[in-house]
Copies of this chain bind each other. A is one copy, B any other.
Amino acid sequence: MSRVQDVYPDDRVSLREVGLRDGLQLVKSFPSTSAKQRWIRDEYAAGVRHFEVGSFLPAKTFPQFADVRDIVKTVAALPGAHGVALALNERGVNEALASSVAEIATVVSATEEHSQANANRSRDSAIANVKRLCELRDASAHKPIVNAAISMALGCSITGPVDPNEVVRLVEKCLEAGVDFVAIADTVGYAGPRQVGELTKAVVRIAGSKPVCVHLHDTRGMGIANASAALDAGARVLDGSLGGLGGCPFAPGATGNVVFEDLVFLCESKGFLTGIDIERLIAVRSILRSEMPDETLYGGLARAGLPRGTSAKAA
């Protein structure tokens, strides 16, 4: 058994807090390093074990990730916690490797049009980048887990509908390139649960013993329904952000990632034990509110609380 199955065991659901990366991608003000560290430590105390910590991008353009090395260390210091950092090119990958982060994630666009527009490269070039990342991993001392996410996998902000066969083909290419696991992302929140279920099922089938992550945005209110469909289809790694932090550059006013607290409630209600205490998790929102007062936080559990008679359920 490889290490990826230790980090993401297939007999339980792993929920990843991606607010510190995806949630901060578009915000105008962002938390201080110490606030990020409290955010992580408080969520850890609530039972969260998987954190996307930031992105290895030029600090000039993305100052919110300038402290990514510190945040990598913060997560690494917590027993059993797992940190993930995004790296999009070889410079970023080398910096990520030097940081000793436990997992490096990279991205391949589902459509040629989005790949060119967003990353100024072809999808073939993005796959070559994935392969290079895997080679650098193999040559590294600590050999981090490598994940490739197919962005726009369920709909593209440029082309609209996306052929699922193309996504499956790209997933196969990433697996051939040597990634430890793959993610499919509904980057702009276009999909409904049937589409998510069908694509997840196809990707789970070709992934074999490797985990499949489904990364969803709640842009059109389908986030939780899509997460439920992904679980039904066999995905066991799901992303979310506290309070649904994060937005969408293509849909002003749209919500961000799936609300993490609600995602925990969904999983528990479906019989998947997450080990996460929802009430303690909700309490962490105060850090986001005080650090980013202009950001709207979402979430049903935070508004309404746990149902009567279930307060001990998620403990």
Please list the residues of chain A having a beta carbon within 8 angstroms of any beta carbon in chain B: 155-161, 188-195, 218-222, 224-225, 227-229, 248, 251, 253-255, 259, 262, 265-266, 268-271, 299-301, 303-305, 307-310
Q: What chain B residues lie within 8 Å of A160 (beta carbons)?
A: 307-310
A221 pairs with B300, CB closer than 8 A = yes
Complex Cα distance, B194 from A271, in Å, reads 9
A221 pairs with B222, CB closer than 8 A = no
Q: What chain B residues lie within 8 Å of A301 (beta carbons)?
A: 220-221
A228 pairs with B189, CB closer than 8 A = no
B309 pairs with A161, CB closer than 8 A = yes
A189 pairs with B300, CB closer than 8 A = yes
Query: How many protomers of this protein does the assembly include?
Result: 2
Q: What chain B residues lie within 8 Å of A266 (beta carbons)?
A: 192-193, 222, 225
Q: What chain B residues lie within 8 Å of A193 (beta carbons)?
A: 225, 228, 266, 269-270
Main secondary structure, interface of A, reads loop
**Would A221 and B299 be within 8 Å (CB), given that A189-B304, A190-B307, A265-B192 are in contact?**
yes
Q: A190-B310, A221-B299, A228-B228 are in contact. List 12 more A-B contacts (CB 8 A).
A: A155-B307, A157-B308, A189-B300, A190-B307, A192-B266, A193-B266, A218-B300, A251-B303, A251-B304, A251-B305, A254-B300, A254-B303
**A301 nearest CB neighbor, chain B only:** B220
Jot down 18 A-B pairs with beta carbons below 8 A, ordered by A.
Answer: A156-B308, A159-B308, A160-B307, A160-B308, A161-B310, A188-B307, A192-B228, A194-B270, A194-B271, A219-B303, A220-B265, A220-B301, A221-B262, A221-B300, A222-B265, A222-B300, A225-B225, A251-B304
